[in-house]
Every structure is written in C-alpha cells, then in structure tokens.
C-alpha cells in the first residue's frame, strides 16, 4: 500500500488526473493535474523519511481550499458534540479530521520557514508572517484549552462505558486527542523559534559572500556558436574571450603608498671604489709532480736548440743512412 501511495513504478513518483472544464466560449477543454500523495525527503545521515503533501492533507480533510483556523474550530466543536452524545464511532472520525487540520497548519509554517532559509526577501516578514504567527499562537492557546476539556469528557465516557467496543473507541479517542496536544506543543515551539530564525537568517544572508558563478562550457557556449561565423566576426569573439580569460595583467602605474615610500627612503651609502673585497682563503695543495727537478733541467736543455742545429738529437753521432741514430740519453 505504501509503495502505491508513493507510486514507485513511475519516473517522477507522481500521479496525474485528467479533468475537463468549459471555457467562456463554451468549448470543453481537457486538463492534466499532476500531484503527489507522499514524498520521500532526505534526512540527516543519508536517511530517507516520508512526508505527506498538501494534496494528501486536503484529500483527508475533504476539501481543496479550506481556511485552517475555522475548519479546526468546526471539527473540534463537532467532536465535542459527538462525545457528549456518546457517538464515539463518529467522534473518532471527527478527531482524526481535527488532527489533520493541525498537521496542515504546521505544514504552512514549515514552508514559510524553509522559504525564509532560502531567501528572506521572498517572504513577507513585515505583515503576513507576523500575522500568521500571532494567529497561530492564539490558535494553539485556544486549542490547548479546548482539547483538554474534550480529553476530560472522553476519559469520562471511557470510564462509564459498559461495552468493550465502546471502551476501545474511547481509548482510541484518548490517543488521538493526546497526539493533537503533542502536535500543538511542537507547533508552539516552532512558532517561538520563528522570530530568532528570521533574525539569524537575515544576518547570514546579508553578509554572505556572493554565490560563485558556474563555469563556462567552452565547446557549447564558445566553440560551437563561433565555428559557423565568418573569420572577421569570429576573431572579435575569440579576442574578447582570451583577453579576459588569460588572467590578470600587471598594472603599469604604481600605488601612491609605494611612490611615497620610495621617495622618503634615504639612499644607501656606498664606497667610492666599491665594497671591500674579502681576502681569499688559499689552501696549499700537495705536490703531485711526476718528475724531479734534475729531470726537468735536462729536458729544458734538450728543448733549447739553436736555429742551425742539424736534425736529430744534440750529441747524436751521424750514422749511415741505413742505420738508426743512437741517442745517448
């Protein structure tokens, strides 16, 4: 039954009723009315809970457009009369209708507070909402007094009843009226929180940073519309986009504070020949020479050759052409 009320099989989980009306010219026009009976609302921690819609409450109370306060009073007067006459079966139905009126009143306040959390300016807190809160507080105070009197009569009827069915219906009526009183308590607490909630939301929304803009779709919003354009018009679009999309540019002018600080800063004193150079810290390297001093002197003598010296090493004796000169070194 619950799945049928939610309409699980449909895409949007809603119902559609087709009805017809006659226009001013007498033409019959068919219209569609989409509605839901029970909504799945996300709760804290990822949970899901069910909430009856306005259409469902209106169906239960048997009207599509009803003044909440007057209907509540009429239902409870009817309930009191039925109890006093001992018609508990009809009184149970009247008590359930009175509870539905209370739920409808709470739902009106809930929608008002939810709209306030989204946008304070969308709700008339100057006249409409204060009047609603004042009427609701008077309504709660009157219903407390009225329902406590009804509860006393129901308990009396329950205690004086002789039949088991009569006692059972009286006990069910006691539970229904207690539930109405509990809902009135919840409604009263929400009404008392409405004023502080409005002031808190007004402060939060007044000083909240502006909402970030959504990013651009480069393909859908820039590339696709520009491709069919002529080159001259497309160039103006792309130049304007890239001029603003490549980031901030460094300003050419300096700030006044930087200019004043630069002019008032005393110059740094400098030496005529510049700053004094530090003395280098030299470290003696170990002697890694591969030749002795005597070998170096002999090599230098061999390299100092006169300009008219014959080919070959100095001191080498000439030998026949076929023989190899023998060097004395």
Decide if pLDDT at 320 tops 60: no
Using alpha carbons, list the distances in angstroms from residue 119 to 94, 106, 112, 131: 38, 20, 11, 19
Considering the domain architecture, whether residues 111 and 153 belong to the same structural domain is answered as yes
Q: Do 96 and 152 share a domain, yes or no?
A: yes
Say whether both 192 and 154 belong to one domain: yes
* 100-113: pLDDT as tens digits: 767 777 888 888 88
Q: Which residue, 14, 30, 52, sits at the end of a domain? A: 52
Specify whether 182 is located in the same domain as 89.
yes
In whole numbers, what is the pLDDT of the chain averaged over residues? Answer: 74
Q: Are residues 19 and 83 in the same domain?
A: no
Domain count for the chain:
2
The whole model's pTM is what? 0.42
**Whether residue 150 is found in the same domain as residue 178:** yes
Q: Helix, strand or coil for residue 245?
A: helix
Q: pLDDT-based confidence at 63, cuts 50/70/90? A: very low
Q: Is 300 contained in some domain?
A: no
Which of 206, 222, 254 terminates a domain? The answer is 206
- pLDDT at position 11 is 58
Query: Could you tell me which residues are beta bridge partners of residue 80?
Result: none
pLDDT of residue 96: 65
| 309 inside domain | no
Paired tokens of 244: 């603003």
Q: What is the mean pLDDT of residues 131-136?
A: 85
- Structure-model confidence comparison of residues 70 and 217, the more confident one: 217
Q: What are the φ and ψ backbone dihedral angles of 27, each rounded to 5 degrees? A: -85, 135
- Give CA separation, 99 vs 28, 63, 110, 186, 189, in Å: 39, 15, 17, 13, 18
Site of tokens 């068919």: 30
Residue 164 within any structural domain of the chain: yes
In a domain, 30, yes or no: yes
Residues 128 and 176 in one domain: yes
Asked if residue 47 and residue 11 are part of one domain, the reply reads yes
Same domain flag for 142 and 42: no
Predicted confidence (pLDDT) at residue 322 exceeds the cutoff of 50: no
For residue 22, give its domain range. Answer: 1-52
H/E run at residue 184: helix 164-206
- Give the closest residue to 49 by CA, choosing from 88, 87, 2: 2
Residue of higher predicted confidence among 211 and 24: 24
Report whether 51 contacts 58 (CB < 8 A): no
Q: Is 138 within the bounds of a domain?
A: yes
Asked if residue 247 is part of any domain, the answer here is no
pLDDT exceeds 70 at position 71: no
Is pLDDT of 122 > 80? yes
Q: Are residues 139 and 85 in the same domain?
A: yes
Asked if residue 83 and residue 145 are part of one domain, the reply reads yes
Tell me, yes or no, whether 255 lies in a domain.
no
What span, in angstroms and rounded, lies between the C-alpha atoms of 140 and 21?
40
């Amino acid at each position: 039954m619950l799945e049928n009320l939610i309409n699980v099989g449909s895409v949007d989980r809603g119902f559609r009723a087709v009805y017809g009306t006659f226009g001013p010219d007498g033409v019959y026009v068919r219209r569609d009315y989409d509605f839901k009976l029970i909504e799945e609302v996300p709760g804290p921690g990822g949970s899901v809970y069910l909430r009856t819609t306005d259409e469902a409450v209106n169906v239960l109370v048997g009207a599509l457009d009803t003044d909440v306060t007057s209907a509540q009073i009429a239902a409870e007067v009817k309930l009191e009369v039925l109890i006093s006459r001992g018609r508990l079966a009809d009184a149970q139905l009247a008590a359930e209708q009175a509870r539905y009126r209370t739920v409808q009143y709470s739902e009106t306040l809930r929608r008002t507070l939810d709209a306030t959390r989204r946008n304070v300016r969308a709700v008339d807190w100057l006249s409409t909402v204060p009047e609603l809160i004042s009427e609701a507080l008077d309504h709660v105070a009157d219903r407390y007094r009225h329902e406590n009197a009804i509860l006393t009569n129901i308990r009396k009827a329950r205690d004086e009843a002789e039949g088991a069915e009569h006692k059972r219906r009286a006990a069910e009526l006691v539970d229904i009226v207690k539930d109405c009183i509990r809902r009135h308590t919840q409604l009263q607490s929400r009404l008392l929180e409405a004023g502080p909630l409005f002031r808190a939301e007004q402060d939060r929304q007044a000083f909240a940073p502006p909402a970030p803009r959504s990013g651009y779709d480069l393909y859908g919003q820039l590339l696709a519309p520009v491709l069919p354009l002529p080159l001259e018009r497309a160039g103006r679009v792309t130049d304007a986009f890239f001029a603003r999309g490549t980031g901030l540019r460094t300003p050419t002018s300096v700030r006044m504070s930087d200019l004043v600080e630069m002019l008032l800063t005393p110059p740094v004193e400098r030496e005529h020949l510049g700053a004094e150079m530090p003395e280098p810290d030299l470290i003696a390297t170990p002697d890694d020479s591969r030749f002795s001093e005597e070998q170096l002197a002999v090599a230098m003598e061999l390299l100092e050759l006169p300009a008219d010296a014959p080919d070959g090493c100095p001191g080498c004796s000439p030998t026949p052409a076929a023989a190899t000169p023998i060097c004395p070194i």
